[in-house]
Structure 1
Amino acid sequence: MQRWMRKKTHFPLLAFFFSVFVVASVLYIENTHQIQEQKEAATTHSLFPTSVSFSSHKIKKRDLGSLDWSKACITTRNYTTHEEWISSTPKSNQQKLNQGSCDVFSGSWVFDNVSHPLYNEADCPYMSDQLACLKHGRPDSTYQKRRWQPHNCNLKRWNAIEMLEKLRGKRLMFVGDSLNRGQWISMICLLQSVIPDGKKSITPNAALTIFRAEEYNATVEFYWAPLLVESNSDDPVNHRLDDRIIAPDSVLKHASEWAKADILIFNTYLWWRQGKIKLLATDEDGVCEELDGLGAMKFALEAWADWVASNVNPFEKRVFFVTMSPTHLWNREWEPGSVGNCFNEQTPIDMEGYWGSGSDIPTMRVVDNVLSTLKSKVSVLNITQLSEYRKDGHPSIYRKFWETLSPNQLLNPVSYSDCIHWCLPGVPDVWNELIFHFL
C-alpha cells in the first residue's frame, strides 16, 4: 500500500477537482437559465406553473384558447384506470376547521324566528330568480327561520360590518358551479344591507362577476369554473351539452383569474355525477378518452391541487374547499314507503347522522385523499352533513325555470322539482356564517 502511494502522482487528484469544477459550472449555467426561464414564465403567467405533472395521466401541450370544443373529440376510446384510490381509506390530514373541542359541523337545526332570517329575500337587489322561493310562490317561510346550532358550543354570530372589515382591501372569490354561485349570492345579500346606496355595485364580466364595497375597497366575486380545469362547459350561460369534455391537467386559464384573490372558496361535485367525461388525453388531435365521472374528477382535483401546492402561501392567501352539497331526490330515504322528493317538504330531517344517496361516499374519499396532500394550504368547509338534514331547503317548484315545462310536468310537480339548489335566505347563509366564523 505504501509503495502504491509513493508511485501515485497528483494528476488524478487534479483531474478529479477539475471535473467537479466543470460539472458544477455546467449545473450553475443550467440553473441560471432555468431561473431566468421561470422569471419569464412568471411574468407571462403570474407565477402559475407552466405544466402540471401527475404520474397517471398526461395530455400533450396544445393551444386550448384556439380549440374548437365541438370538434375536439372526433373519435373516443375507453380509458382504463385502477380504482385503488376510490376504495382507499381517506387520509384526513387536511386542515381541520375547529377551535378547541368545538366541532361546529356537528349539531342540529333549531327554529329561531328572532335572529333569522339574516336578511329579507325582497330586500336583496342581487337575488337570483333561481333561489327566490317566496317570490315564486312558496307558501311557507319556516325554511328561512332555522339556525344551525353546533353541539356543546356556539357558532360565531353573524356581523356584516365585522365581515366587511375582515375583507377590507381584499378580494374574496367563489370559484365553482351554480351551488357555489348560490353561496356567493348569499354572501352579497348578507353584506349589502349595511353598505350605503352609491357605495356598492355589481359588474358582470363574462365568467367573472364582481360585487364591490367601495368604502372598504373590497370585492366579493364569483368565477364560473364548474369542473375547475378547462372544459367545454366553461361558458357561464351555454353549458348544457350532450358531452362533457375536459383538459384534465389544464388550470392556467382559470387560475389566471382566481390567483388574484386573497380569499378563495372552491367547490366541484355535481357536474362529475352526470355520466361519463371525455378527456383531451392523447397525442392525436380529435381523439379523446372516456372515463367515468369519478375518475375524471380525480384528475381535475389533482391538477387543481398541484396549482395550490405550487402557488398558495397560507400566510398570504386563504383557501377553502366546500364539500359536496347534498341533494334530496327520493323521499323514501327519509320516509320509507313514500314516493316523491323534496317537493312540499317543510321540516328538516331529525335523524341524527342521516345520510342519503345525494352525498356520495366514494366521491368524498377521492376529495379527502387529494386534499390531504395540501395539509395547511386548504381549509375544508364540511357542509355536507349539516345540509343533509335540510330536505326542506330546496326551491322544488318555487323558482324560475328557463326551459318551458310541458303540461304533463305541470300536472306532476315532483317531476320537475329542483332538489339540488337552495332557497335564499336559507342553508347557504349558514355556509357563509361558517366562513365568517373561521376568518
Structure 2
Amino acid sequence: MGGSSPFKDQNKQHSTTTTTMTTFFSFWRFLPYTIYAILPMALFRVYFYPLPVPQSPTDRLPRSDHILVAPSLSSPRQAEKPGGDAVTEAPPPPCDYTNGKWVPDKSGPLYNGTTCGTIKDGQNCIAHGRPDLEYLYWRWKPRLCHLPRFQPTKFLQLLRNKNVAFVGDSMARNQLESLLCMLSSVSDPILVYRDGEDNKFRKWNFPGHNMTISVYWSPFLVKGVEKSSSGPDYNKLYLDSVDERWAGDLGSLDMVVLSVGHWFLHPAVYFEGGSALGCHYCPGLNHTEIGFYDVLRKALRTSLKALIARTRASGRVTDVFVTTFSPSHFEGDWDKFGACPKTKPYQEGEKPLEGMDAEMRKIEVEEVVAAKADARDFSGIRLEALDITKLSLMRPDGHPGPYMYAFPFADGVKDRVQNDCVHWCLPGPIDTWNGILLEAIKRWNGGEMNRLSLDLAR
C-alpha cells in the first residue's frame, strides 16, 4: 500500500526507518491542506475583529465630549466563572464619530428638492440646476463603528410628545431644514407658526406623534442688536445677558440644539457689566480690538449657564446639544466664480483641521465640558457637543456655490457671480449631522450613557 497519514492505525509494526520516512513524506503531503484549513479562519478573525488602526497626528482631534457611542446599547452580558458565579463583562469601548472618511454610497438621500417643501431657496441646489449630483452619493464612515442610515420613524418615536428647538444662526436653520426634510419622507409636518423677517421664527407639528420642531433666530445666543442698512455697520452684543427670544421659552422645551459661530466674525462692539468691553474690526471707533474668540466663549458660557439654571427652576428634563463650528470652503474671493468648485470630498489626511476652524470648535467643546461640570449634581439636563467640524471640513463639494441662485449660467458663464460656500445643499452632507444626533438620542434612551471626560489640552 502507499504511504499512510500519521492519523492512521499506529499499532501496525513497521521498521523504524520506514515509519520515519512515511511520517516525513505524509507531513509534507498534508501541509497544504492544513494551510488551506487555517487560512479562512485567520481571515474571518481579521475581518470581524480588526486590529486598531493607528491614527496620524492630524487625525487626533483634541479630546472632547463629542458624540461617543458604544456599538451596543444593551446591558452588559453575563458570563459564568467555572464555579457558576455570574460575572458582568465590561461593556465594549465607546466609538468616536468624529474620525472617519467619506465613502461612496449608491443609496443616495432620503429626499430631494421637490419632495421636501421646507428647503430655503438658496440651499435647493438640485432645483437651481446644479449639474453634478455626485455630492449626493457619499456617506460618513467612522473608523471603528457603524453610523446607520437615518431612521425618520425612529426619530419621531423617540421624540413623541416632545418640543424640539434649533437655536442660533442660519446654520441652525440649515440643520433644522435637513431634519424636517428627512422626517417628511415618512410624515408631513404642518407649519403652525411663523414670524419675523424671512420667517426666522417658525414651528412645525407632526400630529401623528404630537412632536413640534421650532427654529429660533439668535445668531449670538446672547442679547444682541444686529447691524442694519439704516444704522451702524456693526453688531452690538451684550455678553452677560441671554437672548430672551429663545431663553424665555425654555420652560416648554424638551430638547435644544444650539448652533452659532459665523456671525461672530462680523464687525461688532461688545458690552459686559453695563460698559463697553471692546470690539472686533471697528476702525474709527474708540474701542480696543479684542477679536472674537473670547467673545464666543463668553456668549456660550452665559447661554449654557442660563439654560441650566432655568431648566433646574422649571423642573423639566431637557436635552441640550451644541453643534460645533461648520467650516466654509471659499477659495479666493467670496464673490468670484469658482469660490468652492470642488466636486468630491477630501480624502483622509488631505485637509487638516487647523486655524480658526479648530479654535472655534475647541472653544465650543470646552464650554460644553465646563457646563457639564456645573450641572453634574443636576439630573434634569443632559449636555453633548455634536462634533461635526472635521467631517464637514472634508466636504468642500457640499455647498450651493453659485447655485444659491437658480440657473446662474443660463445666459453663459459670467466673470463674477456670488457663491455660497458656507451653507449646505439640501439634501447634502448636513444630513449626516442629524444622523449622529439621532444616534445620541437613541443612546440616551437606551439607558446607561457612556460619557467620557476628555482632556482637551492633550
TM-score by length of 2: 0.65
Higher-Rg member (1/2):
2
The answer to whether the 8 Å contact 1:108/1:149 transfers is yes
With a CA cutoff of 8 Å and minimum separation of 6, indicate the structure with the bigger relative contact order.
1
Structure 2 residue 260 is the aligned partner of structure 1 residue 273:
no
Q: CA deviation at 1:356?
A: 5.5
Equivalent residue, structure 2, for 1:264: 256
Equivalent residue, structure 1, for 2:169: 177
Structure 2 residue 221 is the aligned partner of structure 1 residue 220:
no
Identical positions, percent? 27
Q: 1:121 aligns with which of 88, 113, 133?
A: 113
Q: CA deviation at 1:239?
A: 11
1:243-295 deviations in whole A, cap 9, x for unaligned? 110111111513103442111110111111223433265459xx995542223
Structure 2 residue 299 is the aligned partner of structure 1 residue 304:
no
Q: 1:369 aligns with which of 366, 389, 414?
A: 366
Structure 1 pair 165/241, CA: closer, same or farther in 2 (3 Å)?
A: farther
- What residue identity is the alignment partner of 1:299? K
Secondary structure in 1 aligned to 2:191?
Answer: strand
Q: Matched residue pairs, number?
A: 331
Q: CA deviation at 1:359?
A: 4.5
162-171 or 199-208, which moves further after superposition?
199-208
1:399-424 deviations in whole A, cap 9, x for unaligned? 139xx99x9x94134xx211111101
TM-score by length of 1: 0.68
> How large is the RMSD of aligned CA atoms in angstroms?
3.3
Q: CA deviation at 1:192?
A: 1.3
1:180-229 deviations in whole A, cap 9, x for unaligned? 10000001101112125xx7335313342101111211111111001000
* 1:74-223 equivalence runs, <5 A: 94=65, 96-99=67-70, 100-114=93-107, 116-195=108-187, 200-206=190-196, 207-223=200-216
- What residue identity is the alignment partner of 1:346? T
Structure 1 pair 147/331, CA: closer, same or farther in 2 (3 Å)?
A: farther
Question: In structure 1, how many angstroms separate the alpha carbons of the residues matched to 2:248 and 2:148?
Answer: 33
Question: In structure 1, how many angstroms separate the alpha carbons of the residues matched to 2:404 and 2:105?
Answer: 25
Equivalent residue, structure 1, for 2:292: 293
Structure 2 residue 437 is the aligned partner of structure 1 residue 435:
yes
Secondary structure in 1 aligned to 2:119?
Answer: coil
Question: In structure 1, how many angstroms separate the alpha carbons of the residues matched to 2:239 and 2:317?
Answer: 28
Secondary structure in 1 aligned to 2:370?
Answer: coil
Q: CA deviation at 1:315?
A: 8.2
Secondary structure in 2 aligned to 1:123?
Answer: coil
Q: 1:249 aligns with which of 233, 240, 243?
A: 240
The answer to whether the 8 Å contact 1:394/1:423 transfers is yes
Secondary structure in 1 aligned to 2:205?
Answer: strand
Structure 1 pair 353/316, CA: closer, same or farther in 2 (3 Å)?
A: farther
User: Which is richer in strand?
Assistant: 2
Equivalent residue, structure 2, for 1:323: 324
Secondary structure in 1 aligned to 2:224?
Answer: coil
- What residue identity is the alignment partner of 2:234? D
Question: In structure 2, how many angstroms separate the alpha carbons of the residues matched to 1:310 and 1:292?
Answer: 29
Question: In structure 1, how many angstroms separate the alpha carbons of the residues matched to 2:266 and 2:65?
Answer: 28
Q: CA deviation at 1:136?
A: 1.2
Structure 1 pair 307/289, CA: closer, same or farther in 2 (3 Å)?
A: farther
Q: 2:384 aligns with which of 379, 385, 403?
A: 379
Question: In structure 2, how many angstroms separate the alpha carbons of the residues matched to 1:437 and 1:143?
Answer: 23
The answer to whether the 8 Å contact 1:179/1:421 transfers is yes
Equivalent residue, structure 2, for 1:390: 395
The answer to whether the 8 Å contact 1:275/1:293 transfers is no
Question: In structure 2, how many angstroms separate the alpha carbons of the residues matched to 1:354 and 1:259?
Answer: 42
Secondary structure in 1 aligned to 2:179?
Answer: helix
Question: In structure 1, how many angstroms separate the alpha carbons of the residues matched to 2:365 and 2:125?
Answer: 33
1:294-351 deviations in whole A, cap 9, x for unaligned? 232222112112213323469811100010001111379xxxxxx9865331111114
Structure 1 pair 280/245, CA: closer, same or farther in 2 (3 Å)?
A: farther
The answer to whether the 8 Å contact 1:394/1:421 transfers is yes
The answer to whether the 8 Å contact 1:328/1:356 transfers is no
- What residue identity is the alignment partner of 1:293? F
Secondary structure in 2 aligned to 1:169?
Answer: coil
Structure 1 pair 325/194, CA: closer, same or farther in 2 (3 Å)?
A: same
The answer to whether the 8 Å contact 1:342/1:394 transfers is no
Structure 1 pair 239/371, CA: closer, same or farther in 2 (3 Å)?
A: farther
Question: In structure 1, how many angstroms separate the alpha carbons of the residues matched to 2:261 and 2:367?
Answer: 14
The answer to whether the 8 Å contact 1:94/1:374 transfers is no
Question: In structure 2, how many angstroms separate the alpha carbons of the residues matched to 1:283 and 1:330?
Answer: 39
The answer to whether the 8 Å contact 2:67/2:96 transfers is no
- What residue identity is the alignment partner of 2:113? E
Structure 1 pair 194/308, CA: closer, same or farther in 2 (3 Å)?
A: same
The answer to whether the 8 Å contact 2:239/2:270 transfers is no
- What residue identity is the alignment partner of 2:98? F
Secondary structure in 1 aligned to 2:69?
Answer: coil
The answer to whether the 8 Å contact 2:166/2:214 transfers is yes
Question: In structure 1, how many angstroms separate the alpha carbons of the residues matched to 2:367 and 2:194?
Answer: 32
Question: In structure 1, how many angstroms separate the alpha carbons of the residues matched to 2:175 and 2:230?
Answer: 20
Equivalent residue, structure 1, for 2:425: 423
1:61-107 deviations in whole A, cap 9, x for unaligned? xxxxxxxxxxxxxxxxxxxxxxxxxxxxx995646533233212211
Q: CA deviation at 1:373?
A: 1.1
Q: CA deviation at 1:177?
A: 0.5
Structure 1 pair 282/178, CA: closer, same or farther in 2 (3 Å)?
A: same
Unaligned runs of 5+ in 2: 1-60, 71-92, 277-284, 377-381, 442-458
Q: CA deviation at 1:364?
A: 3.1
Question: In structure 1, how many angstroms separate the alpha carbons of the residues matched to 2:62 and 2:371?
Answer: 11
- What residue identity is the alignment partner of 2:420? D
